[in-house]
Amino acid sequence: MSAVQMQATLPDTTTAESEVLMRVVNRVAIITLNRPAALNALSHGMVRQLAVLLEQCRHDDGIVALVVRGAGQKGFCAGGDVRSLYQLAQQGRMEGNDGWLQFFVDEYRLDYALHQFPKPIVALMDGITMGGGMGLGQAARLRVVTERTKMAMPETRIGFLPDVGATHFLSVMSPELELYVGLTGVTLTGADALHCHLADVCVPAEWLASFEDRLQRMPHDGDLMQALRRVFEPPCNVVPHAPLAQAMPWVVRHFDRRSSVDRIVATLRESLGREAAREPRQWLQATLDAMTTHSPTMLHVTREALLRGRQLSLAECFQMELGIVARGIQEGDFCEGVRAHLVDKDHRPGWAPSTLREIRPERVMHFLSSPWRTEAHPLADLGN
């Protein structure tokens, strides 16, 4: 099917009301997440639409590459539609079902397909890029950020873990930096993302406003990736300073992979008690606040999952994450975290257990154990 025929047969993807839009410019499919009022958060319908479009682009010889972007100027994608998942999870707890599970199965399959896609993908991670948005963006071959980028995996704050493949894609960093980013959910700038190897180019946001004009003139007689990079990276590009670079000595000191979560918190407290300089104290206090207010269970589980993920394949990481997600929703802190921070907004989650020291090793191992037999795992075929 040609690109022109695809547009003719997919009216739902080309109307202004659709949550996912697609058009083709010079043999490149431009896919737009179109929920700007919700910072382009992913609904289940969007995940399914994206999966259909991806498969059609895969088999269309008239399309040579994909660009994925978010509508509006505030965000690429703020993550999954957590409030909807919370409602499904609450309903599931009352009725004894797991209707929420299919969202994650479909989302992880989509993310895995993006990672394995045979044609180049460009992700324009301008503005807020978190959670499920990272699952989409980190699968791209060319990951573009700007001075407006606010990137994070803040899931431990709501009683969850960094998922959508994060136990795989965060491993491009050193273990210390991975643990810091994954446990605290710190927000990264575009320059920080480049420093962390979570982006390939950092460009001025205004440069992206005219990318379609340059895309229209892109040649097809040479190296495709070089041609795409010239479309999205301006000549003489000046990358802003990465604030995270200054904090790296503190990150390395406190987030040693051999340190337990309890030990990380203890060293942060010890350093805060001794440190007099303003900037180190600010970093220490913000980091300590995250490590003592986020879900104790998921901080322990996330640390172990991130370290395990460094030794696993992408498919194995998705399979591990789905098991942890299932346990986290059915018997963990997810519902309470979402209630406290996004529904009631009292910001006083009642974690269970409530402190880091109450978390027993067997509880951590329980969350890391799969709820399914190997052959019955919903993602058992991934990677085969």
Give yes or no for residue 16 having a pLDDT over 70: no
pLDDT at 96: 72
Hunting for tokens 């003489």 — which residue is that? 236
pLDDT at 296: 98
Give yes or no for residue 5 having a pLDDT over 70: no
User: Average pLDDT of 137-157?
Assistant: 98
For the stretch 239-263, pLDDT in tens is: 889 999 999 999 999 999 999 999 9
Contact 243, 189 (CB under 8 A): yes
pLDDT bin (cut points 50, 70, 90) of residue 178 is very high
pLDDT at 157: 97
Give yes or no for residue 282 having a pLDDT over 90: yes
pLDDT at 4: 32
User: Average pLDDT of 334-349?
Assistant: 96
pLDDT at 206: 96
Q: According to CATH, what is the number of the domain 243-384?
A: 3.90.226.10
User: Average pLDDT of 124-151?
Assistant: 98
From 76, 70, 74, 65, select the one nearest 20 (Cα to Cα). Answer: 70
Return residue ranges of the chain for CATH 3.90.226.10: 1-152+190-241, 243-384
For the stretch 40-58, pLDDT in tens is: 999 999 999 999 999 999 9
Give yes or no for residue 65 having a pLDDT over 70: yes
pLDDT at 310: 98
Give yes or no for residue 147 having a pLDDT over 60: yes
Instruction: Kindly state the tokens that stand for 246.
Output: 């200054």
From 335, 373, 283, select the one nearest 83 (Cα to Cα). Answer: 335
For the stretch 326-338, pLDDT in tens is: 999 999 999 999 9
Give yes or no for residue 132 having a pLDDT over 70: yes
From 135, 144, 111, 355, select the one nearest 233 (Cα to Cα). Answer: 144
- Counting residues of the chain whose pLDDT is more than 90, the rounded percentage is 91
Residues 6+ apart with CB under 8 A from 343: 83, 86
Mean pLDDT of the chain: 94
From 255, 149, 260, select the one nearest 195 (Cα to Cα). Answer: 149
pLDDT bin (cut points 50, 70, 90) of residue 95 is confident
- Counting residues of the chain whose pLDDT is more than 70, the rounded percentage is 96
* Measured distance CA(106)–CA(349) in Å, rounded: 29
Give yes or no for residue 2 having a pLDDT over 90: no
4-18, 85-99, 148-162, 343-357, range with the lowest pLDDT: 4-18
User: Average pLDDT of 283-301?
Assistant: 98
- Which burial class, exposed, middle or buried, applies to 220 when counting CB atoms under 10 A from its CB (0-12, 13-18, 19+)? exposed
User: Average pLDDT of 105-132?
Assistant: 98
Give yes or no for residue 9 having a pLDDT over 60: no
Radius of gyration of the chain measured on its C-alpha atoms: 21
pLDDT at 363: 97
pLDDT bin (cut points 50, 70, 90) of residue 379 is very high
pLDDT bin (cut points 50, 70, 90) of residue 15 is low
Give yes or no for residue 367 having a pLDDT over 60: yes
Q: According to CATH, what is the number of the domain 1-152+190-241?
A: 3.90.226.10
User: Average pLDDT of 334-350?
Assistant: 96
The torsion angles phi and psi of 42, rounded to 5 degrees, stand at -85, 120
pLDDT at 93: 76
Contact 351, 333 (CB under 8 A): yes
The number of residues making up the chain comes to 384
pLDDT at 1: 35
